[in-house]
Amino acid sequence: MPLLVKNARIVTSTADYTADIYCEHETITRIDRAIAPSTLPPCDILDAAGLITFPGFIDPHVHVYLPFMGTFAKDTWASASRSSLLGGTTTLVEMICPARTDDPTSAYDLWRSKARESVCDYSFHMGVTRFDDRTPAALKQIVDAGITSLKVFLAYKGALGVDDRELFDTLRVARELGVVVAAHCENQELVALLQKRMLAAGKTGPEWHEPSRPPYVEASGVHHLCAFAEATGARVYIVHTSCQPAIEEARRAAARGVRVDLEAVIPHLVLDRSFAERPNFDGAKYVMSPPLREKRHQEALWHALAAGDIATIATDHAPFDFATQKSMGKDDFTKIPNGIPSVEDRVNLLYTRGVCEGRIDLHTFVRVASTNAARILGLSTKGDVAVGLDADLCLYDPNHHAVISARSHAMQTDYSAFEGFEIRGRPRHVIRRGEIVVRDTALVATLSPGRLAPRIRTG
């Protein structure tokens, strides 16, 4: 059924105004100061008075189906996509992470099959964990199917990480195909050496995870990637940037013409390394890579965000249970599955800690949580409120007050990394391609499937 949103205060990356929005056939077909329901065919009507109407939010970096470190991520696409919608995010972009022995096209087919139970829209970054003579043809086939970003790891030596020849060839092929390359930037050789030294000294707890991957390790990875991007002309997108030195390396590269965009993730903006230092192994809940940093790096991220040096805020959602999965590293921090569940909380935490506390304005909020991800990743029908685009909308209640708790979240993990955090603001209604999927903060009873979002090449 068509949908009319009345009295909407529409806030985008560039505009702030009041109008009515008419949605039909999954798209926004009309935006006018006042649209009389009597002039329309029968339609659903939502009154947005007192709310802020944002574009549907986009999380450009999640893991849902994830075989990793001897276990599997706890969420399924059914649970992750529902959590996403409750948090105002209507599109997820998942990392496909094949093993080095996996065939790329088979891996793509597997990951896409898992997403068929999604109720939000989705796309993927195609992970490249091996590059041989068959790889270029496989990547072209996947790109032709609509996946216009690749992913490389400069970390996890001996598992997902690529060597320099593989990195060069991946960037070269990406440039030829016109696609962007997302990259996890660390110096995997240094990480391996530092981890070995820590364990030999009996430093086995989760508090030693960050010292084994300090900021200079991440900055080294950013420098390395940008040198290869400069050599090949490829466009790169650095994921989960966590520290000041990494930001500075990217700035220097951009100044000399490297096409580089930075992503930060919500855990790095609101958590610091003291959480991973909590006693009795509780710190394992907060182990992710790159790790949580000293608080001063948080402020550097917020300043870079406000200045426009960080383009997107994602989650790197990678959900593992504390009791049965994080505990795998009880006696060896290198065996703790990396990741913090956060797909449901990103928008509310960014609004609370960013907008409400005066660190960013509403336009920056929209830009980094939706519009820039659409622009960088070629999600050409999303990221804005405009006629002709997908009718993805988040009607946000800025007056809502609540406390985050694992007791009430929809994610499948047995803990929340943000337990007890206060939030100010919450999605009241969420619309995905013209269909109300969240009404009055609750998922509707029957949800139609999400779909693979169309993309264009931006590399």
**CA 103 – CA 92 distance, rounded (Å):** 24
Look at residue 17 in the predicted model and tell me its pLDDT: 98
Contact 253, 230 (CB under 8 A): yes
Alpha-helix residue ranges (DSSP H) falling in 256-322: 266-270, 273-276, 295-307
Mean per-residue pLDDT for 332-340? Answer: 97
Look at residue 229 in the predicted model and tell me its pLDDT: 98
CATH 3.20.20.140 domain span(s) along the chain: 56-377
**pLDDT (tens digit per residue) in 177-216:** 999 999 999 999 999 999 999 999 999 999 999 999 999 9
Name 277's Cβ contacts closer than 8 Å, sequence gap at least 6: 206, 207, 283
**CA 225 – CA 150 distance, rounded (Å):** 14
| pLDDT at residue 398 tops 90 | yes
Return the number of other C-beta atoms located less than 10 Å from residue 34's C-beta: 9
Look at residue 68 in the predicted model and tell me its pLDDT: 85
Cis-peptide, bond into residue 136, ω within 30° of zero: no
Helix (H, G, I), strand (E, B) or coil at 230: helix
Look at residue 70 in the predicted model and tell me its pLDDT: 87
| pLDDT at residue 157 tops 90 | no
CATH 2.30.40.10 domain span(s) along the chain: 3-54+391-405+421-443
User: How high does pLDDT run on average in the chain?
Assistant: 97
Look at residue 432 in the predicted model and tell me its pLDDT: 98
User: Which option is the CATH number for 3-54+391-405+421-443: 2.60.40.1180, 2.30.40.10, 1.10.287.70, 2.40.30.10?
Assistant: 2.30.40.10
- Three-state DSSP string of 126-159: EECCCCCCCHHHHHHHHHHCCCCEEEEEECCCCC
**pLDDT (tens digit per residue) in 37-83:** 999 999 999 999 999 999 999 999 999 999 988 899 999 999 999 99
| pLDDT at residue 158 tops 90 | no
**CA 369 – CA 352 distance, rounded (Å):** 13
Q: Which CATH class is domain 56-377?
A: alpha beta
Mean per-residue pLDDT for 389-414? Answer: 97
Look at residue 181 in the predicted model and tell me its pLDDT: 98
Query: What percentage of the chain carries pLDDT values higher than 90?
Result: 98
**CA 287 – CA 69 distance, rounded (Å):** 13
In which residue are the tokens 């430093």 written?
203
